[in-house]
Structure 1
């Protein structure tokens, strides 16, 4: 029996969508934050661009987690997606309550500028990671309760 079983077609499709969309979001969030920080002289606050840069880091870390199917990358992705969800919700609420504080960010208004992908995507990723076939694919079984840093 294989240590890492073959994924089902549905599992593969969801995984591929997440694996493709996260690097695209990382690229666009990085571009947005760099443009705002270095080429937008009338920027009132740096909170928005720095939030976008942090979001880009989250998207990149999640991409690594999706690309390398190891137990430690499963835990990495799960933690990053949780942080991303909290960040999107907190920034979304703050951008409603105090829009001048947040300014323009990937997570502003729950990701409205990015078709709400920043809100929906981490939830979809967490559901995908929690799915039993995905857990098996990453080598996460019932006996694995903590991250293992082995690459085997």
Structure 2
């Protein structure tokens, strides 16, 4: 007989099926806000520089646009959940760190390459060195907030009044043919 309970039965997820990172909270929220502010600042700067003065310093202004794109993607990747976004966050933040170090060093060693400053010139001096510090903080935060496999999450309590996975419910919410979880019935067994 089908279950009269409107709540679906709790069915354990297969090990490793979904990866989710906890919601951004605490210092992670501050990190996301700083990334978003830097994304807006870099985007605005590059837009003005490219539309009004691109011929004066194309390399510097293109780098400002690249940094804006990196900050936008990093902001989205830090907020979004899942293993793919976690990897994207690592890639963009690592690229950001590499960009700040390379452009910062080149702007000191070979200043003739940069007729005008970019976001990453002189290690982000025009932005209070935030572009130099931010990827380090981002990498630390990412390393402490890895995605959690659904099997590693604490079990949610079963809904009251309805069948649970441990008392023999099936994935459809009705009773299964055998006692115990229906997931234990292998091929050829019923």
Is TM (by shorter chain) over 0.5?
yes
Q: Does 1:139 align with 2:171?
A: no
Relative to structure 1, the CA distance from residue 5 to residue 121 in structure 2 (aligned partners, 3 Å threshold; closer, same or farther) is closer
Show CA shifts across 1:123-151 (max 9, x none).
Answer: 100011011xx11xx3369xxxxxxxxxx
> Which contiguous aligned blocks of 4+ residues in structure 1 show a shift greater than 6 angstroms?
none
Displacement after TM superposition at 1:19 (Å): 1.0
Alignment match, 2:77: 65
Show CA shifts across 1:97-137 (max 9, x none).
Answer: 12231221000000000011110001100011011xx11xx
The CA distance in 2 between the partners of 1:106 and 1:140, in whole Å, is: 37
Q: Does 1:37 align with 2:53?
A: no
The CA distance in 2 between the partners of 1:22 and 1:36, in whole Å, is: 21
More RCO (CA 8 Å, sep 6+): 2
2:133 maps to which of 120, 123, 127: 120
**Which structure has the greater CA radius of gyration?**
2
1:16 maps to which of 24, 29, 33: 29
TM-score, normalised via structure 1 length: 0.78
1:84 maps to which of 72, 96, 101: 96
Cα pair 1:66 1:74 within 8 Å, conserved? yes
Structure with higher helix content: 1
Count of residue pairs the alignment pairs up: 133
Partner of 2:56, secondary structure, is coil
The CA distance in 2 between the partners of 1:88 and 1:13, in whole Å, is: 26
The CA distance in 2 between the partners of 1:110 and 1:82, in whole Å, is: 15
Alignment match, 1:110: 123
